């Protein structure tokens, strides 16, 4: 592939990644009941509403699970895989496109949860008291951390649940998502 083609491919992947990230952020915000009146959350909703609107007519109305955001992210990822195949003169089957899309979305969701926990932990050390901008991270991570906090209550004032949650997230990526991705890799051979 020529340098111009590589640059174009990079740009397409970047833009698709930005759209997918925003859609997944919307999904996580809805799933964790983040306050939708916050300006940042409101911005994410307004930016993603036009691309989620067609699926909102077909899929169940968003309550806790914004299925239109998740399905739209998977469709954008599938289109990206098809476009990459076209630009690199490769042909991918439907099952490979589906597996690739599912594993990439799962990986991105798990990565997002990982980074949200990291950011929330760092902010908890730096920012004391209530701050509406840092509260968003607390609102998004509490539903993720709560099951781990039940298993490992705070010891001596230290909450070790983020460490266990991060280990669980990374193990899920390696074992479960990696196994599904391996099936897709075997289809290429």
Q: How confident is the model at residue 62 (pLDDT cuts 50, 70, 90)?
A: low
Q: Is residue 101 exposed (0-12), middle (13-18) or buried (19+ Cβ within 10 Å)? A: buried
Band (8; pLDDT cuts 50, 70, 90): confident
Query: What value, to the nearest 5°, has the Cα angle with vertex 32 and ends 74 and 114?
Result: 70
End-to-end alpha carbon distance in the chain: 21
Domain that holds residue 9: 3-188
Tell me what pLDDT residue 131 has: 78
CB atoms within 10 A of CB 147: 12
d(CA 155, CA 152): 8
pLDDT digits (tens, 9 = 90+) for 23-35: 999 999 989 888 8
**Global pTM value:** 0.87
Q: How far apart are CA 72 and CA 19, in angstroms?
A: 10
Could you give the number of structural domains in the chain? 1
**To the nearest whole number, what is the mean pLDDT of the chain?**
88
Does 189 score more than 60 pLDDT? no
| Residue 147 pLDDT > 90 | yes
């Amino acid at each position: 592939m020529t340098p111009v083609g590589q640059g174009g491919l990079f740009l397409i992947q970047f833009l698709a990644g930005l759209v997918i990230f925003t859609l997944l952020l919307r999904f996580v915000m809805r799933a964790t009941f983040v306050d939708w009146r916050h300006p940042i959350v409101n911005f994410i909703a307004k930016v993603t509403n036009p691309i989620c609107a067609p699926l909102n007519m077909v899929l169940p109305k968003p309550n806790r699970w914004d299925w239109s955001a998740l399905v739209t992210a998977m469709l954008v990822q599938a289109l990206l895989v098809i476009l990459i195949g076209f630009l690199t003169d490769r042909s991918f089957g439907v099952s490979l496109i589906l597996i690739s899309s599912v594993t990439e979305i799962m990986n991105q969701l798990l990565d997002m949860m990982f980074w949200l926990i990291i950011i929330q932990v760092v902010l908890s050390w730096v920012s004391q008291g209530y701050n509406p901008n840092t509260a968003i991270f607390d609102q998004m991570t509490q539903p993720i951390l709560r099951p781990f906090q039940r298993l490992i209550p705070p010891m001596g004032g230290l909450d070790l649940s983020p460490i266990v949650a991060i280990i669980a997230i990374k193990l899920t990526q390696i074992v479960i998502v990696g196994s599904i991705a391996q099936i897709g890799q075997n289809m290429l051979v």
